[in-house]
Amino acid sequence: MKRFWVQWGERYLYHPSLIQKILSFLLLPLSWLYCLIAYLRYRRSRPKSMGIPVVSIGNLTVGGSGKTPVVIELAKRYEKPAIVLRGYGRKSRGMVVVKDKSTILCDVIKSGDEAMLYAQSLPNATVIVSEIRERGIAEAVSMGCEVVFLDDGYGKHTIDKLDLVIDVETPNRFCLPSGAYRERLWSGKCVVMLYEGKSFKRTVTVKNPTDKMVLVTAIARPERLDNYLPKVGEKIYFEDHHMFTQWELEAILERTGATSLLVTQKDFVKMSSFNLNLSCLELAIELDETLITTVKEYTDAKKD
């Protein structure tokens, strides 16, 4: 039932039917109120220096935008980077150091899938999850990091940072609950907009392909994968950040007769201990040189 409502909500926000469009229209007064509150919160905020260069990568809408591979590719260019994120889907609370510069310190249940993907993809990075981002950034400073990449931090207006915002196309341009927008590009707030195909380009390869694969994934807006998929027998979607169990994956293999489960890298970190045959969609990102230069100039200036 939960999966049904998650998928219904994603259709409502990004590909609404006629009935959903009518519902969106009826909810406009709440949407205007939500947007006003978000704007007033922004206007009352005063950015504060955290004692370290902070670069935020995120988007204005709910749901996925592909920010994780962009963060990874930018962080690779630094010797002592830190990744700070909330850690959606984790079974822990408070601040958790998932990885110091050399060692992963907890499992994916405690870290959440995105944090574990960062930890496994970035050998030199410190990875910290914290609901209070300022606390996570302060911990990164104390651990000797040189730059913080803030996952999904546009709305953290009290933090002095460079905001990189990934453009996400949606026909529904309203704020929640009528549309997908959590916030707008507020007047007076400087951001660098990122556009897929211009600011960054994706290439996807399949590791360990088999003859009969079934797609199993727990990411937001999984239809984003369609342009990169090889032939699959079935597509099975779970809610974003779902923590898989071995028995439910074994049941899928038995029911479909698949020779492997085709998963994303974010899914893989939650399944790798199950001793199942997995095929993985490995995503590579090529960043525009102008973007790389912009981030480097900002972090260098903040160090001076």
Q: Could you tell me how far CA 235 lies from the centroid of its own chain?
A: 21
Instruction: Name the least confident of 53-57, 149-153, 228-232.
Output: 228-232
- 154 pLDDT band, cuts 50/70/90, is very high
| pLDDT of amino acid 65 | 75
| pLDDT of amino acid 63 | 77
Q: What is the pLDDT of residues 240-260, one digit of tens each?
A: 899 999 999 999 999 999 999
Token pair listed for 205:
């390869």
Under 8 Å between Cβ of 139 and 30: no
| pLDDT of amino acid 266 | 95
177 and 237 part of one domain: no
For residue 91, being part of any structural domain is answered with: yes
Give the C-alpha separation, 249 to 246, whole Å: 5
270 and 298 part of one domain: no
8-state DSSP, 207: E
Res. 5: pLDDT tops 80: no
- Distance of CA 184 to CAs 53, 69, 155, 176, Å? 24, 23, 10, 11
For residue 149, being part of any structural domain is answered with: yes
As a whole-number percent, the residues of the chain with pLDDT over 70 amount to 99
Average pLDDT over every residue of 263-279: 95
113 and 176 part of one domain: yes
| pLDDT of amino acid 50 | 96
As a whole-number percent, the residues of the chain with pLDDT over 90 amount to 82
**Residue 24 exposure: Cα atoms within 13 Å on the Cβ side:** 23
- 54 pLDDT band, cuts 50/70/90, is very high
- 1 pLDDT band, cuts 50/70/90, is low
Number of compact structural domains in the chain: 2
For residue 21, being part of any structural domain is answered with: no
Q: What is the pLDDT of residues 157-169, one digit of tens each?
A: 999 999 999 998 8
Give the C-alpha separation, 81 to 132, whole Å: 19
Q: Is 92 exposed, middle or buried (0-12, 13-18, 19+ CB in 10 A)?
A: middle
172 and 253 part of one domain: no
| pLDDT of amino acid 289 | 96
Give the C-alpha separation, 113 to 107, whole Å: 10
For residue 27, being part of any structural domain is answered with: no
Q: Where are the alpha helices (DSSP H) in the chain?
A: 2-14, 18-26, 28-44, 67-75, 108-111, 113-121, 133-142, 246-256, 265-271, 289-303
Under 8 Å between Cβ of 162 and 54: yes
For residue 216, being part of any structural domain is answered with: yes
Pairing label, strands 200-207, 278-287: antiparallel
- Name every residue whose Cβ is closer than 8 Å to that of residue 105 and which is 6 or more positions away in sequence: 97, 98, 99
188 and 54 part of one domain: yes
208 and 277 part of one domain: yes
- The CATH number covering residue 294 comes to 3.40.50
pLDDT higher at 4 or 100: 100
| pLDDT of amino acid 191 | 95
For residue 192, being part of any structural domain is answered with: yes
192 and 220 part of one domain: no
53 and 131 part of one domain: yes
Range of the domain at 281: 202-285
Average pLDDT over every residue of 66-80: 95
71 and 48 part of one domain: yes
For residue 19, being part of any structural domain is answered with: no
Give the C-alpha separation, 25 to 18, whole Å: 11
140 and 207 part of one domain: no
186 and 63 part of one domain: yes
Res. 17: pLDDT tops 80: yes
From 139, 140, 133, 128, select the one nearest 155 (Cα to Cα).
133
81 and 182 part of one domain: yes
Average pLDDT over every residue of 44-66: 92
The pTM (predicted TM-score) of the whole model is 0.93
For residue 175, being part of any structural domain is answered with: yes
Res. 283: pLDDT tops 90: no
